[in-house]
Amino acid sequence: MSSETTAQKRAPRLTVDDVLNHRRRAGWSRRVLYVFLLAAMAWSLNVTVIQDTDWARMGSLGNVLGAAGRFAGIDFALFPTLIAPMLETFMIACLGTLVGVIICIPAAWFGAQNVTPFKPITYPLARLAMTLSRSIHEIVWALFFVSAVGLGALAGVLALAVRSVGFIAKMSAEAIEDIDPGPVEAIRATGGNAFQVMLYGVLPQVLPQILSVIVFEWEINIRRSAVLGLVGAGGLGLVFFRQMNTFNYHGVTSVIIAILLLISAGELVSYYARKAVI
Amino acid sequence: MNRPPQSPLVTPAGPSACHWSRFKFPDSLIRYASWISVLVFLTYTVEYLDIPLDRLLGMFGRMGTTLSTRYYPPDIGYTLDVGYLSYVVDTIHMAFLGAIFGLIASIPLAWFGSFNMSPSRRWLYPIARLITMSCRAVHEMIWAILFVAILGFGMLPGVLALTFFCTGFAGKLFAEEIEAIDVGPVEAMRASGANQLQVMAFGVFPQVRVAFTGIAIYTWDVAFRAATVVGFFGAGGMGWYLKRNILQVETERVAAILLSIIILVLISEIASAWARAKVMKMN
């Protein structure tokens, strides 16, 4: 970004009038953009809040606050039974990240322009796989894998793995594209084969970045694995679903507190791990 | 556990005994032990979660047959129906509103929650960080379920769920952006007697404006991705169609809906990438 702006400032010899004209035009286009955004917002507000919402059924503000107030309270008796699901959620996240990293190795290799084996086919293929993986929500992936391998933790692990491939592979491929070609050429010149080039020329250069991306994705995966239980993949989501369906609202709050605890622990670990890696 | 090789400095007994290793004694043992413990933990995880490894191999064949026999000819006509398309438009509305509200809420949170600019490091900083973190930690699905339980079915709970999600998402990125600014102009303004709001408006904001715009566009993109599924639990949008067809085992329609989601997300991703590139260039 900064290099672009400096290049732009340096490139043509601009007169003062040019700059002022550009500013005026930019100002106008900006104003048009603001008006457009406001109009879109008004339209959306009209559709969602005025037309679609059934205010009569929702009742007065007191009714809404009363409905929200049902959640105010903690079911302490539930906490001992939450430890096993918490562990399960954590483990699903760990395994999902691991499997995702394993799938990522070919994806990142094919998806980096400078190391992809056969550019016209493998590069678009890998890019397509990454986009597909990122564009489908984890709930949908979980539904798909539940129908493929049955209920249980395996479906959750696979859903997380497939979902995290997109991000890790994209960041890794970008890191690989930015490497210094010197070591790679040196290894190739001494007769290293493609595998040796990857292992000794490329990997050492990108490992810290990729590790930090993996830790980051692991932290996000903890958050995701907490909801996979809603569609049958075990863990805290399943407990949440049960508490919700049995109208034990205080239990719902307890489950949310457990999720928050788990995620803050994960965030802490991820913070220090990323610091240690870089 | 075999002992790692001795350091070459300790045993200078000729070139043959001089064994090089990258990590010296305590380090090598720690690394070795941590790798082993990670492996043990992962093995135990497979055991604990009761993962049927024998099923993994058969999975691909089964998935192939399921896809080809049941999902294969996607019922495209179903997704071109007016009812479905109006739900798609609703989804876009929801994502837009959720992103806008979330961005509006996240700007003060980012200000209070950035360590270098927070007006009060003792009170506002931890509170803002806590709010941002809890918005982000609770998954958008859980927000959607909670708001549906409180407000009933419809698009309003979906918008609120997306608002909370976007607040957490954008709040963190904004705060990180503010923490990375150049403090020179800020100090100059402080020295000339500007108050907190003036420092924020004229010292900080011009530095982060472009980054904020990029993040805002990205937030909209992410919100749209989430909006396609919040309807799954009754919060409006296409997710409701998805759920209905899954429950009715109309697999060919499900395939068509999934295809439409993928295409829409691709379009939104391309649009957001284009808009971000444009914003970067405009500056």
Which residue carries 């914003």 as its tokens?
A: B279
- Judge contact between B272 and B218, C-beta under 8 A: yes
Number of A/B CB contacts below 8 angstroms equals 153
The DSSP secondary-structure symbol of A229 reads G
Closest CA to A137 of A160, A114, A120, A117: A160
Mutation target vs B (from A8, A9, A37, A47; most B CBs, 10 A cutoff): A47
- How many angstroms separate the CA atoms of A59 and A12, rounded? 63
Q: What are the pLDDT tens digits along chain B (283 aa)?
A: 455 555 555 544 445 556 777 777 777 888 888 889 988 988 888 888 878 777 777 777 777 887 788 777 888 888 788 888 888 888 998 899 999 999 999 999 998 988 888 888 888 899 998 899 888 888 888 899 988 888 888 888 899 999 999 999 999 899 988 888 888 888 888 899 888 888 888 888 888 888 898 899 989 988 998 898 888 888 888 888 888 888 888 888 888 888 888 888 888 888 888 888 888 776 6
CA–CA gap between residue B258 and residue B64 (Å, rounded)? 17
Give the number of other CB atoms < 10 A from CB of residue A200.
14
Distance (Å, rounded) from C-alpha B196 to C-alpha B202? 10
Tell me how far apart the alpha carbons of residues B212 and B204 are, in angstroms, rounded to a whole number: 11
Looking at the partner chain, which of A5, A37, A240 has a beta carbon nearest the beta carbon of B142?
A240
pLDDT the model gives residue B1: 45
Q: Which two structure tokens, joined as six digits, stand for B268?
A: 């939104």
Q: Which fold has domain A76-277?
A: MetI-like fold (1.10.3720)
Contacts of A251 in chain B (CB under 8 A): none
Whole-number Å distance between alpha carbons of B232 and B230: 5
State the first-to-last Cα distance of chain B, in angstroms, to the nearest integer: 60
Q: Show the tokens assigned to A131.
A: 């986009």
ipTM over 0.90: no
Mean pLDDT of A119-133: 86
When pLDDT is averaged across residues A92-119 and rounded to a whole number, the result is 87
What is the phi/psi pair of residue A8, to 5°? -65, -40
Q: What is the average pLDDT across A245-274?
A: 88
Contacts of A152 in chain B (CB under 8 A): 49-52
Using the structure block, give the residue that is written with the tokens 């169609």.
B241
What pLDDT score was predicted for residue A164? Answer: 92
pLDDT at A1: 42
Instruction: For residue A101, list chain B residues with Cβ-Cβ distance below 8 A.
Output: none
User: Residue A274 has which token pair?
Assistant: 């990323």
Is B29 in contact with B37 (CB distance < 8 Å)?
no
**Yes or no, beta carbons of A224 and B139 under 8 Å apart:** yes
Cβ-contact B4, B32 below 8 angstroms: yes
pLDDT at residue number A42: 87
Residues of B in contact with A87 (CB under 8 A): 48
- Tell me, yes or no, if A47 comes closer than 8 A to chain B by beta carbon: yes
Say whether residue A154 is in contact with chain B using an 8 A CB cutoff.
yes
Q: Using alpha carbons, list the distances in angstroms from residue A85 to A82, A88, A160, B220.
A: 5, 5, 17, 33
What are the contacts of A238-244 at 24+ separation with CB within 8 A?
A238/A85, A239/A81, A239/A82, A239/A85, A240/B142, A240/B145, A243/A78, A244/B145, A244/B149
CB contact under 8 A, A267 and B151: no
Q: Are A136 and A75 in contact (CB under 8 A)?
A: no
The full set of domains in chain B, from first to last, is 14-70 (no CATH), 77-282 (1.10.3720.10)
Instruction: Tell me which residue in A1, A40, A92 faces B280 most closely, judged by beta carbons.
Output: A1
Average confidence (pLDDT) over A43-70? 79
Query: What is the per-residue pLDDT for B6?
Result: 52
d(CA B200, CA B40): 51
Residue type, A184: V
Residues 6 or more apart whose CB falls under 8 angstroms from that of A126 comprise A106, A107, A108, A109, A110, A111, A116, A169, A173
- CA distance to partner chain B, nearest, from residue A179 (Å): 23
CA distance B102 to B95: 10
Residue A2 has pLDDT above 50, yes or no: no
Q: List helix spans (H) across B67-154.
A: 76-79, 82-112, 124-137, 140-151
Average pLDDT over residues A200-228: 89
The answer, yes or no, to whether residue A4 has pLDDT greater than 60, is no
- Asked if A259 lies within 8 A of B261 by C-beta distance, the reply is no
- pLDDT, residue B17, reads 55
Q: Measured between beta carbons, which residues in chain B are less than 8 angstroms from residue A37?
A: 100
Q: Tell if the CB–CB gap between A87 and B236 is shorter than 8 Å.
A: no
Chain B neighbours among A 53-72 (CB < 8 Å)?
Answer: 53-54, 57-58, 64, 67-68, 71
On the question of pLDDT at A48 being above 80, the answer is no
When pLDDT is cut at 50, 70 and 90, the band that residue A162 belongs to is very high
* Chain position carrying tokens 């055991």: B47
Domains of chain A, residue spans = 2-53, 76-277
- Here the tokens at position B32 are 């070795």
Q: What is the token pair recorded at B163?
A: 């608002």
Asked whether the predicted pLDDT for residue A104 surpasses 60, the reply is yes
Alpha-carbon Rg for chain A, nearest whole angstrom, is: 25
What are the structure tokens assigned to B12, written together?
Answer: 């200078």
Range in A124-138, A183-197, B56-70, B216-230 the model is least confident about: B56-70
Contact B168, B137 (CB under 8 A): yes
Which is more confidently placed, A255 or A8?
A255
Task: Give the separation between CA B217 and CA A240, rounded to whole angstroms.
Answer: 32
Of A53, A256, A267, which has the smallest distance from its Cβ to B154's Cβ? A53
Output the CA–CA distances (angstroms, integers) from residue B246 to A147, B150, B227, B242, in the order listed. Answer: 11, 25, 18, 6
DSSP letter, residue A276: H
**Cα separation, B241 vs B255, whole angstroms:** 12
